[in-house]
Structure 1
């Protein structure tokens, strides 16, 4: 099957061909025709299957006819993160170059002025994160009554991030007579309830078992203590034929520290996490895509939706707390039919987390045994200590020690003989104090004057 068999316009087919694609992926082949027929749709697909193009391509043809109105977007795409929203915008620019469509990106972390200017001029496609959209809507800066098409992308991620109440509010503000597309990697009960409420007789498309992992990805777990993780990571980066890699950690502080550590050891590494503002995150991501850095340390803000070609490895520096995050993390490699490798570091305290991951993915992840070279740096540092153990035979050692000891004692005796002998001083009792009073400290030790009957040398 080719893209021409799906009913797309010639202009759109030219843009797809120029982008280097000739055959649709399974999710695209099953999704594009019903979307072009203006049906509601639920798409269940794992990450990396071409899901974004599955709704972007038909939307371009659907929106090719019609006119724009100020502050009233004709279509709305909701994304859970800024990175995903930016990626969808890139897809519209790439595939919609032969169509007269206006697009606006409505995300946090950037100045609102340009976004409001674009909305005022009228847009065909509004790509937004729920938080920024709700902010502008409550300020009266945007109207949703003219929206003809709604896309809820990464719905299960929306649930994890607590956006479901916002999505319900947004859906209630849209026209009842609209087309709605919902995409998710999994279908938990809350998402099913959302779909039942806001979609009308949807077409159900599923191209893989929910939360299944890509068969093109060789998965491994590395059993290692928490303090040995960095050493194990460096060994794998040096020995496993790593081209480009994304390293995921559970905490933003770990991401920052890990990036600094890798740079100190000579690796070309960058970082992306939630504490960075949007321009800095975009700049770091562009450096990674351009090949200026080969390693990107990331928190889960980047786990879903990042589409970077040629990522050979994914490392879970921390076993993810949520098993769904494991699927989406390792999905950054093995994309577009290419093969990839994923390593997950499992410390003793991660036993429950890795068990949940393996339960979700449907099988045990093979253990990867690190080669002995993992302790090379420690071994090099330990060599001088081992070399210093080579000492003269033991029978030589006692010959010196008694001489030194005797010499020391003789010197002390000679010094004692030369020193003038002094009589011990007896302190007079203090006024108002009984002569026979006993001075002791709290621990019972003597704290009073030296008695006359004790013969005490000043030298002792």
Structure 2
């Protein structure tokens, strides 16, 4: 099937061809005709399947007919994060270049005055995060009575972030006679309840089983001791054909310190996490998208929805606490039919987390015992490709080759025993940083490791104790 078979306008097809696309993905092929027929739609699709274009493209054609009025947007797209809202806005600019549509972006961290001015001019499509939208609505700067099309994107992420009450409130402000689209990677009961309440006889489109991982992604678990994770990471980065990579950490402090360590080792890396303000986060993403840095160290703020073309590798420096986060993290690679590789570092404390991830995705993650084995396994399905391994743009220095004590198989012990062992092995000294490029591990104090404010998500009950007690 071609895009030309979906009923899109010639102007839109021209923009799609200019963007380099000819054939729609399964979610696009199923959703676009239904949206064009003005049906309510529920789209369940894992990340990286092209679901953003499945609602952006038909919306552009639907909005091509009509006129906007001041403070009364004609359509509304709700996104859980600023980054996702920005990405959808970029899609509208790219595909709507042959249409004269006005768009406004309502997100936190940027001038409210400029957003109000855009609304006063009248907008065809409003892309917003729930918090900023409700703020402007309560101030009387926006009216939703003229909005005839609502799209709720990343609904399960909205649930995770506690936005469902806001979304229900927003839905009550919109006209009852409207078209509603809901897209989500999974359909937990609260999202099903939301859909039942606010969608009218929707067509449900499901292109992949919830929580499945992309078959184009090779997945490996790398057993490693906690204090040798950086050494293992540098070796894999040096040996692999890493064009662009995202490295995920569970703590914001780990993101900052790991980025500093990689830079000292000569890698061209950047960072993004929740403590950065919006301009700084967008600036780092722009450097990554334009290949000025080819490694991005990130917290889970970047795990969902961000579409950066050509990410060849994902590294879970820390195994995610929540199994769903694993699916969304590794989904940054292997997008749009490309192949990708995902490595997850597994310490003795991570055995239970990995078990939960494997139960969720319905498969065992292959264990690798050394960087050399990782390299051989990753290249097994692509032996015809004779490209030379590349390092980070800064020219990474070769890390120490002592791998004998860099790996340790995850011990499946009770949580209490595992925690006691981790406390016994962890140095009690104050933080100490190695010299630039030396490969010496940086020590982090027990106090720093135990700081609740560093976690991006809730602390499991068995970790909510004082270390050294």
If the TM-score is normalised by the length of the shorter chain, which range does it land in? 0.7 to 0.9
Pairwise CA distance, 1:355: 1.2
The 1:121/1:346 distance shift into structure 2, 3 A limit, reads: same
Structure 2 SS opposite 1:335 = coil
Corresponding residue for 1:270? 270
Q: Which moved more, 1:134-143 or 1:38-47?
A: 134-143
Q: 1:126-145 alignment to 2 at 5 Å?
A: 126-145=126-145
CA distance in structure 1 between the aligned counterparts of 2:399 and 2:237, rounded to whole angstroms: 15
1:282 Cα offset (Å): 0.8
CA offsets, 1:185-233, max 9 Å, x none? 0010010000000001000001111111000000001111221111111
Per-residue CA distance 1:262-296 (angstroms, 9 max, x = gap): 11111110001111111111111111111110100
Q: How many angstroms apart in 1 are the aligned matches of 2:302 and 2:109?
A: 15
Q: Distance in 2 between the 1:309 and 1:117 partners?
A: 33
Cα 1:34–1:269 shift into 2, 3 Å: same
Question: What's the counterpart of residue 279 of structure 2?
Answer: 279
How many residue pairs match? The answer is: 381
Q: Does 1:90 align with 2:113?
A: no
Counterpart among 391, 400, 405 of residue 377 in structure 1 = 400
The secondary structure found in structure 1 opposite 2:366 is coil
Matches within 5 A, 1:274-353: 274-353=274-353
Corresponding residue of 1:216: 216
- Matching residue of 1:101: 101
**Separation in 2 of the partners of 1:341 and 1:156?**
25
Cα distance 1:228–1:71, how it changes in 2: closer, same or farther (>3 A)?
same
Whether contact under 8 Å (2:250, 2:300) holds in the other structure is yes
Shift of 1:376: 6.4
User: Are the equivalent residues in 1 in contact too, given 2:235–2:399 (CA < 8 A)?
Assistant: no
CA distance in 2, matches of 1:229, 1:193: 43
> Residues of 2 paired with 1:379 and 1:213: CA distance?
33
Report the Cα offset of residue 146 of structure 1. 0.8
Determine the C-alpha separation between the residues in 1 that align with 2:150 and 2:207: 22
Q: What CA deviation, in whole Å up to 9, does each residue of 1:331-364 have, x standing for no partner?
A: 1101111110000111111222111111110011
Farther off after superposition, 315-324 or 346-355: 346-355
Aligned equivalents of 1:17, 1:379: Cα separation in 2: 51
Distance 1:216 1:372, change over 3 A: closer
Q: Which residue pairs with 2:117 in the alignment? A: 117
Show the counterpart of 1:171: 171
Q: What residue in structure 1 maps to residue 467 of structure 2?
A: none
Q: Which residue of 2 aligns with 1:368?
A: 368
How far residue 114 of structure 1 moved from its aligned partner, in angstroms, is 1.1
Q: Secondary structure at the match of 2:343?
A: strand
Q: Distance in 2 between matches of 1:7 and 1:378?
A: 58
Distance 1:373 1:50, change over 3 A: closer
Distance 2:281 2:192 in 1: 33
4+ aligned runs moved over 3 Å, structure 1: 371-376
Post-superposition Cα deviations, 1:6-54, rounded to whole Å, max 9, x if no partner, equal 0001111111111111111110000000100000000000111110000
Identify the residue that residue 257 of structure 1 maps to in structure 2. 257
The aligned counterpart of 1:51 is 51
Evaluate the alpha carbon distance shift between residue 130 and residue 376 of structure 1 in structure 2; reply closer, same or farther with a 3 A threshold: closer
**Residue pair 2:270, 2:295 contacting (<8 A) in 1 also:** yes
Residue 69 of structure 2 corresponds to residue 69 of structure 1:
yes
State the match for 1:197 in structure 2: 197
Q: Distance in 2 between matches of 1:51 and 1:240?
A: 30
1: distance between equivalents of 2:5 and 2:401? 61
Q: Are the counterparts in 1 of residues 60 and 96 from structure 2 also a CA contact under 8 Å?
A: yes
Give the C-alpha shift of residue 372 in structure 1. 7.7
Residue 156 (structure 1) aligns with: 156
Change (3 A) 1:206 1:371: closer
Q: SS at the partner of 1:315?
A: strand
Structure 2 gap segments, 5+ residues each? 375-397, 406-469
Partner of 1:207: 207
Q: Which structure would you say has the larger Rg?
A: 1
Judging changes above 3 Å, is the alpha-carbon distance between structure 1 residues 102 and 371 closer, same or farther for their aligned structure 2 residues? Answer: closer
Report the counterpart of residue 228 of structure 2 in structure 1.
228
CA distance in 2, matches of 1:23, 1:373: 37
Deviation at 1:377, TM superposition (A): 2.3
Contact 2:236-2:371 at 8 Å conserved across structures: no
Could you say what secondary structure the match of 1:104 adopts?
Answer: strand
SS in 1 for 2:367: coil
Q: Note the C-alpha offset of 1:240.
A: 1.7
- Which whole-Å CA distance do the structure 1 matches of 2:45 and 2:52 have between them? 11
Q: Which residue of 1 aligns with 2:463?
A: none
CA distance in 1, matches of 2:274, 2:267: 23
**Native 8 Å contact 2:3 2:13 kept in 1:** yes
Q: Deviations over 1:75-102 (max 9, x none)?
A: 0000111111100000000000111100
What secondary structure is seen at the aligned counterpart in 2 of 1:230? Answer: helix
Q: Tell me the residue number matched to 1:404.
A: none
> Matched residues in 1 for 2:107 and 2:281: separation?
13
User: For structure 1, which runs of at least 5 residues remain unmatched after alignment?
Assistant: 383-460
The change in CA–CA distance for 1:331 and 1:219 in structure 2 (over 3 A counts) is: same
